[in-house]
Structure 1
């Protein structure tokens, strides 16, 4: 039987995502009620600009006092889509203190301070759900937290930022330069006016921290994630990748060490073989590849951003949290029992593609090979092309620790015959 008293929802933020959440709550009200077992009522919407016209939202629901809204006491669920660390953190903890569960899309806050949010939710017997914080509409957080809860996840690798994937895809398929591809992404609305968070990897790093914490049942903060942006990727890098049968993607990679005693989390551009499923992810789409001990390899794919896709994930969480409210229960909280340390980037072992500008004269290759050998980095292939006293030398290595590669590059820069290190890129997914 359906309960007649509605569950009351407070919405914090009414931008692209928030307005779509409100619209779906209104237009799909009967379906949501049937799925939950009770009506859901939008009880208030906190905004910064109250004079802006918001179609479909009654003016009496609009308020600029978000704190008063979450303190009302009759609110069952708070949906937070304002982003940023503050005031979102204070509003969320205040909601818990006043008996409301929270659905959030706030990746930055969760990556920086998820542990304290979990603790507050647990203290007050409330839910904290955040499917929309990573990969938009793609069901990913709940499968990791629930469907794979009985398995052991060893690796999570994926494309978790649509803006960067669009830019790199254009550079690959159309031969566009970075600036040209970024301009197109901006014109189409994929890139913000200030794209720094996307192209420098901050957005993906926050998502990597969240994914690593869930996958490995340990606490991983944003500061634990190694990060490189993709602004230095060039057409020459793509040409080299194609010669290797690869393409280039900005990847978030979270993995256990070989002995299982530590984890790493990193974001950086990487070459991946065209045969890998992630290589075919085009445009602004996201995809995440999960490797689990029993389940094997799983891939989650779909639109990773935008109002409707993100709102879909928010509404999925809202239904789950409302069901828990009716049953006087809560869903999974923080699982950090393993307390595994996060290893530095220097411990990561992978392959590398290094492009050097060198003098075109006898003995250069031998000098370069000696430096690699002295630092314990084994060379797989070498390609050299010279003209008019200058040459390019491309070295692809076997697997080696990142620290060993860094030492190699530092020594190469000191050689008189090396004019410069044009590019260093990791090779993943083999």
Structure 2
């Protein structure tokens, strides 16, 4: 074999190694593409993304054409390398060619291009799609035969290529994505998205105003007391009842009452003329469902009833929106302060405080799958209402009752402990 022929074969060998690197990087790049980013780019008419998206619609065909091309160039490169080695070193050249070509392909046609493609999939996959698309058309008969055989083997194992993973994210996966997007999303936007994702996991009784804290108009009170209450109330809407909340007769909107005040004809009968029919909902309604129901019914306040029909509290549209965007009123937040920090690092907390609100305010993880209030949580753990103040350990929290009266734990002191402190107290 002449020197010119060896140089030609070396040039062809170099070209085949480049082709092998192309197929290897194309495979890794295509499979490493972020499917959601790819869909976004397809919607924005990115030409490379459109071609890559079409190829990924049938990954069996894409892998088929890549592996056919990759195996073809690798086998051809092996044959050419053997010819060159035999010409240069005789029979010993076969072993030399095998070892050298294996090392060259491994480094320059496999590991290096695949690593680059894994780190920058879009820069590799989109240009490669322009070559793979026509190559698939040229090699389609061979690809079809290979896919027919491989798909038949997969069916023996109960695997159908057309029923693959469609890359749908679960709620938990979405929550993880939002939590890890701190560098992209502002903290406030991140909190709002997490709030939306939690709407289905939270029910209205988790955020309701309990019946013992509901402020309303009792028609059994004197008219002067009712007028004074109406003139001082900060609320826009209030339930109207007779004697107790379970005997509610309607919802009063202060805007409608303004007309009665202007006419200077305030009476219980006049109040009853301007109230709206009460809106009742089950206490287990998910927040997302209730948000849509408020919109559908054009309502802003609802009365929660349990399985026996007793009213347990009220929830407003504002309460649900606050779960998404945070507190809407700073004044209201200050008026309902239930947490009092102490110098020793502990907190005095009102027994009626909502556990979810406490967790949010202090970044704690008190259990929320049972009772909704601190009082309910402590009594559930004790399995009784304490006659005197007690101290108990609840996971990494030391809980001390400070005031117990009227079958209710009024105030508790809670201290968050480090893991080693909690272990010491358990011992």
Q: Which TM-score band applies after superposition, normalised by the shorter structure?
A: under 0.3
Q: Indicate the structure with greater strand content.
A: 1
Give the number of the structure whose alpha-carbon radius of gyration is greater.
2
- Choose between structure 1 and 2: higher helix proportion: 2
